[in-house]
Amino acid sequence: MEDIKNKIIEILNEIIPDVSNETLESNKELVHSGVLNSFSIVMLISELSDAFDIEISPQEIVYENFDSLDGLTKMVARLSD
């Protein structure tokens, strides 16, 4: 789980480099607050799919999975099983 989380942080640092790791790890509302927008979400989906060799279906692209680092980590863990 920790490995997955660190890899996701690494990817997010690439996509939204101006957002600090503290903000990411505080589990704030990443989508609701606009930290992740439509553009960065598309990049994130493609990076996550490549890095973890998973397929993220549209039903997975919801607030529950994308609004926080924890949500992202859990989704990736579940899909990589």
Partner 1 sequence: MKNIVELLNRNALENKNDLALQDEDGFLTYGELFDLVLQRASFIKDLGLVNSPIIVKVSRFKESIVNFLAVLLSNNHYIPVDEDIPLEKLNKIIKASKAEYVISTKEDDSGLKVIDFANVKNVYPFEEFSKDFNEKNYSFIMFTSGSTGDPKGVIKNHKNIISFVENYVSTFPFLGQERIANQTPFFFDASAKDIYLSLKLKAALFIPSKTRFSLPMETIKYLNENKITYISWVPSILTMIAKTRTLNFVKPESLKYVFFVGEVFQPKYLNMWIEALPNVRYFNIYGSTEVMGVSLYYEIKKHFDGESIPTGKALKNNNVYLADGEIIVNSDQVAVGYLNNPESKTFEYSNGKTLLHTGDFANYDAEQNIVFASRKDYQIKHLGYRIELQEIEASLINLDYISQCCAVYDENSDKIVLFVSLNKDIEEANRKILIDAKEKLQFYMVPNKVIVLDELPLNTNGKIDRLNLKRGYQDGRY
Interaction site with partner 1 (CB under 8 A): 17-18, 31-32, 34, 36-39, 41-42, 45, 56-59, 61-63, 66
Closer CB to partner 1, 1 or 62, in the complex: 62
CA dihedral sign of residues 34, 32, 72, 59: negative
CB of 17 to partner 1, least distance (A): 6
CB of 75 to partner 1, least distance (A): 13
Q: What is the dihedral of CA 64, 61, 72, 20, to 10 degrees?
A: -100
Closer CB to partner 1, 41 or 77, in the complex: 41
Q: What is the dihedral of CA 69, 72, 75, 77, to 10 degrees?
A: -70
CB of 24 to partner 1, least distance (A): 13
